[in-house]
A and B are shown apart, each in its own frame.
Chain A
């Protein structure tokens, strides 16, 4: 086997069968992750000692007769998820030296399932961004073009799997932070229904939107990872107490009888020629697989961005108040506590985080609350209702994951143009719907020559994860787009 190329499924199968050991996988993945990281800066921290320690445990447990769904599978974890004893920075100066005293529920489930934690991945500070450039540390590069961004906010997690540094990785998606980078990095990125995966131990950005999900090089691997992390957690009051339908063993090969909704408001003529061609081809492929394409309408989709940029900053302004230099993290000394707060937060937060804290504080402040926050919450209701109505006419909605392929560093200096990157992903987030991005070919950016990966976004009703992964699997198996591009990290290695 080739532990650096094989699927998580294959690795777990061999380790459980003891035809391969977690120890040998560990020794293969550690140098590989170092090599790729040197090129991409995908990790804020590599954890080789943890990889070896867990590999040892996995081999013991398997020897003792246990069957582990992720036995010996290398995983990379976005650095906004706590892991006891490791630095957890959320990509921010304010947490640069914070060592987590506890482990996030989702991460614990991965370790219990036999995964090997390769490292903590880079991200836009506190998951606020769409390019990875908002990290307080070195920005991660796109594995398919080192001059371009990997997308964000789960930049390092997408790049690590796209660049073959890890078999699986985990990110968090608030307005598109898994789906957009997955599209940019030629991997599958899956955001489950809000509340499906516990947020306990995930450093909060916007509590009513944040959701943890996997990156993988195949839908089947994403499903396998989902089956492990999904489910009720008594430590998260918003996690759903509802039986999880395992998906990995219930994937489908065709789309016969499936009604695929194409959103009228998401007209492709807004896109550049190549991106447009790519998505038109993708819709046609869905039809070839037996799907019936139906036009659906989301009249409030255009209000998604405005709604999101009130709700998310409002929640973030309150969630980030705890970073005050009292109990942990950065402190800039001052004669009195109030000045200490102001200097600490001024020095500890980056520009984008400050902007969002300011917007959110403003939107919640007296006199503006009803005009902004309450209005946004009502618009959110309308958006969810629009999706519900659309799903009366279709089983799944197909749309772009991003309006264009990965852009160059510093290409989007104006915040609002950056925010527009999430135009297609935000409405589904506001409705809490499960959605994923699956590779759907490539487009040559208008400002470039090299073909860059593109992602097709599929969205289903609440809790329909199994169906969603099934549709994506059928499309992926029929098209095999991911295999048509090779990341630079591999061509360099070859």
Chain B
């Protein structure tokens, strides 16, 4: 479709994502919350919904919800409860899902995020509620293992009952790129909070998107389609782009978008209709009589709030606005929260963020890569790096020596100062000492000096190099050059 036409429209997108919480045991039973394993080996009467089995909520999962909510400035209501969402599906053991309907654990809040180019955005949250995951069905009998044409399904309940957090956003997102950036920040933040590992490849973050379009400038919402089963950031981008294009095509073709659920077909790269509003489910939500209400005290909220870490967005803003680090490198740091934490300690000691980031994402990152050891697990302490930064800033050593010191720190650890002293790497900035060497060099290269005087000033580089060589790299290069010019009667 012609870009001009696309430009006339804007998309209105809301995202619902399900994130598996990081706990030792499942949401309502004592089975391990671990990915994979032999089918049906992490099960009990509760998560298999055997007759008579009863759920008991996992306190840790509930605490994770508070952490997630408070990190995004959500409200934690004083009262909450679990409800049953009733529908039949073979990988859902009870044929109802324990979820939360009208009294979620967290309400409202806002996700502040940034785009690749550094522009900052906000997306309001409607709610975050707690529920349980289903088992997994493998469709057999069809060549491509897909539902259509399968002859049956095999069910593994290891995942059934894993705690699941559902984050529902307001329709504040306007493009596929924003959707991805929003999800990346959610994922980073959940990792930072320790509430989830967000391993996409293990499906621990799954999302649906409500997409509608309208002509730019219009304010009321168009009819939305809900897109399901996008299981990577890449497929989120592709699915939303293709859905926006589809809706524009429908409208441009004189048709109207109908409210329906559409599945994303990764292989075909299109969404296809699954269920229209008419066939919508009647989930018959009602309070789960097997569980008692949850009351939340101000003390609990204060305790959780006090234990919150710095979230990636705050860190990103500090790096860019206070430290003046470019958005690309700021993002690079924030992406790796162990590295960012290490970096923060180094900056606290060095008081020089830019010089520090140059080392951390430069030589230090290179050394880390080569050895396959994370900077935070290496022998270089943030304090040692800060020392090194100080030594270079004060010209106590030159950049060549700095590289050498860093390599020694990486292999043996220890203090930068000590290494500089031990290996005699301190830069010679003593005028007399350097002058003596300069004199030697000029004496040994009289003809070159003559060339210089004759106007071939470009030989200065050669002479400076000779001085450095003679000083075994220790001479302060700036000083050496200054003296050479002096003696050659700079003109």
A→B interface (CB under 8 Å):
80-82, 88, 90, 95, 98, 100-102, 104, 199-204, 206-208, 234-238, 314-315, 317-318, 321-324, 326-328, 337-338, 341, 361, 364-366, 369, 373
Chain B residues near A369: list those with CB within 8 A. 284-286
Tell me if B292 and A98 are in contact (CB < 8 A).
no
Tell me if A321 and B54 are in contact (CB < 8 A).
no
Tell me if A361 and B284 are in contact (CB < 8 A).
yes
Neighbour of B52 across the interface among A82, A237, A337, A364, CB < 8 A: A82
Known: A95-B51, A237-B54, A322-B49. A366 touches B282 (CB 8 A): yes
Chain A residues near B183: list those with CB within 8 A. none
Cβ < 8 Å to A, chain B residues 21-68? 45, 48-57
- Chain B residue at minimum C-beta to C-beta distance from A104: B52
**16 pairs from A and B in contact (CB 8 Å cutoff):** A80-B52, A90-B51, A95-B51, A101-B45, A102-B50, A199-B54, A236-B56, A321-B96, A322-B51, A322-B93, A324-B95, A327-B50, A338-B88, A361-B284, A364-B286, A369-B286
Q: How far is the CB of A76 from chain B (nearest CB, A)?
A: 18
Q: How far is the CB of A205 from chain B (nearest CB, A)?
A: 11
- Chain B residue at minimum C-beta to C-beta distance from A338: B88
- 3 closest Cβ pairs, A-B complex: A321-B95, A207-B289, A208-B289
Tell me if A337 and B56 are in contact (CB < 8 A).
no
Chain B residues near A361: list those with CB within 8 A. 284
CA distance A483 to B387 in the complex (A): 96
Chain B residues near A80: list those with CB within 8 A. 52
Q: How far is the CB of B199 from chain A (nearest CB, A)?
A: 28
Chain A residues near B95: list those with CB within 8 A. 321-322, 324
Tell me if B291 and A82 are in contact (CB < 8 A).
no
- Asked if B295 is at the interface (CB within 8 A of a chain A CB), the reply is no
Task: Given contacts A82-B50, A237-B292, A321-B94, list 9 more A-B pairs with CB under 8 A.
Answer: A82-B52, A100-B50, A101-B45, A238-B289, A318-B286, A324-B95, A327-B49, A365-B282, A369-B286
CA distance A235 to B292 in the complex (A): 13
Q: How far is the CB of B457 from chain A (nearest CB, A)?
A: 87
CA distance A238 to B288 in the complex (A): 11
Tell me if B50 and A101 are in contact (CB < 8 A).
yes
CA distance A341 to B90 in the complex (A): 10
Neighbour of A237 across the interface among B55, B88, B155, B286, CB < 8 A: B55
Tell me if A88 and B286 are in contact (CB < 8 A).
no
Tell me if A318 and B54 are in contact (CB < 8 A).
no
Interface size (B, Cβ < 8 Å)? 29
Cβ < 8 Å to A, chain B residues 259-313? 282, 284-286, 289-292
- Asked if B471 is at the interface (CB within 8 A of a chain A CB), the reply is no
- Asked if B84 is at the interface (CB within 8 A of a chain A CB), the reply is yes
CA distance A318 to B49 in the complex (A): 12
Q: How far is the CB of B185 from chain A (nearest CB, A)?
A: 35
Tell me if B51 and A321 are in contact (CB < 8 A).
no
Tell me if B93 and A327 are in contact (CB < 8 A).
yes
Neighbour of B51 across the interface among A98, A326, A341, CB < 8 A: A98
Chain A residues near B235: list those with CB within 8 A. none
- Asked if B86 is at the interface (CB within 8 A of a chain A CB), the reply is yes
Chain A residues near B84: list those with CB within 8 A. 318
Chain A residues near B52: list those with CB within 8 A. 80-82, 100, 104, 199-204
- Chain A residue at minimum C-beta to C-beta distance from B288: A207
Q: How far is the CB of A208 from chain B (nearest CB, A)?
A: 4
Residue with the highest number of chain A CB atoms closer than 10 Å, among B49, B54, B282, B290: B54
CA distance A326 to B57 in the complex (A): 25
Chain B residues near A206: list those with CB within 8 A. 289
Tell me if A88 and B51 are in contact (CB < 8 A).
yes
Q: How far is the CB of B81 from chain A (nearest CB, A)?
A: 12
Known: A314-B286, A369-B284, A369-B286. A324 touches B88 (CB 8 A): yes
B→A interface (CB under 8 Å):
45, 48-57, 84, 86, 88, 90, 93-96, 153, 155, 282, 284-286, 289-292
Chain A residues near B50: list those with CB within 8 A. 82, 100-102, 327-328
Neighbour of A318 across the interface among B45, B96, B153, CB < 8 A: B96
Chain B residues near A100: list those with CB within 8 A. 50-52
Known: A81-B52, A237-B57, A338-B88. A365 touches B284 (CB 8 A): yes
Q: How far is the CB of A206 from chain B (nearest CB, A)?
A: 8
Q: How far is the CB of B136 from chain A (nearest CB, A)?
A: 14
Q: How far is the CB of A248 from chain B (nearest CB, A)?
A: 27
Chain A residues near B284: list those with CB within 8 A. 317-318, 361, 364-366, 369
Chain A residues near B282: list those with CB within 8 A. 365-366
CA distance A207 to B284 in the complex (A): 17
- Chain A residue at minimum C-beta to C-beta distance from B48: A327
Q: How far is the CB of B154 from chain A (nearest CB, A)?
A: 11
Q: How far is the CB of A107 from chain B (nearest CB, A)?
A: 10
Neighbour of B86 across the interface among A234, A324, A364, CB < 8 A: A364
Chain A residues near B86: list those with CB within 8 A. 317-318, 321, 364
Tell me if B54 and A200 are in contact (CB < 8 A).
yes
- Chain A residue at minimum C-beta to C-beta distance from B40: A327
Q: How far is the CB of B142 from chain A (nearest CB, A)?
A: 14
Q: How far is the CB of A176 from chain B (nearest CB, A)?
A: 19
- Chain B residue at minimum C-beta to C-beta distance from A360: B284
Chain A residues near B291: list those with CB within 8 A. 237-238
Known: A101-B45, A321-B96, A365-B284. A237 touches B289 (CB 8 A): no
Q: How far is the CB of A240 from chain B (nearest CB, A)?
A: 10
Known: A82-B52, A203-B52, A238-B292. A322 touches B94 (CB 8 A): yes
Chain B residues near A238: list those with CB within 8 A. 54, 289-292
- Chain B residue at minimum C-beta to C-beta distance from A209: B289
Q: How far is the CB of B60 from chain A (nearest CB, A)?
A: 16
CA distance A361 to B53 in the complex (A): 22
Chain B residues near A95: list those with CB within 8 A. 51
Tell me if B290 and A200 are in contact (CB < 8 A).
no
- Chain B residue at minimum C-beta to C-beta distance from A325: B90
- Chain B residue at minimum C-beta to C-beta distance from A341: B88
Chain B residues near A199: list those with CB within 8 A. 52, 54
CA distance A284 to B479 in the complex (A): 118
Tell me if A237 and B290 are in contact (CB < 8 A).
yes
Q: How far is the CB of A357 from chain B (nearest CB, A)?
A: 12
Q: How far is the CB of A467 from chain B (nearest CB, A)?
A: 26
Tell me if B88 and A102 are in contact (CB < 8 A).
no
Chain A residues near B54: list those with CB within 8 A. 199-200, 235-238
Q: How far is the CB of B95 from chain A (nearest CB, A)?
A: 4
Residue with the highest number of chain A CB atoms closer than 10 Å, among B45, B50, B95: B50
Q: How far is the CB of B267 from chain A (nearest CB, A)?
A: 24
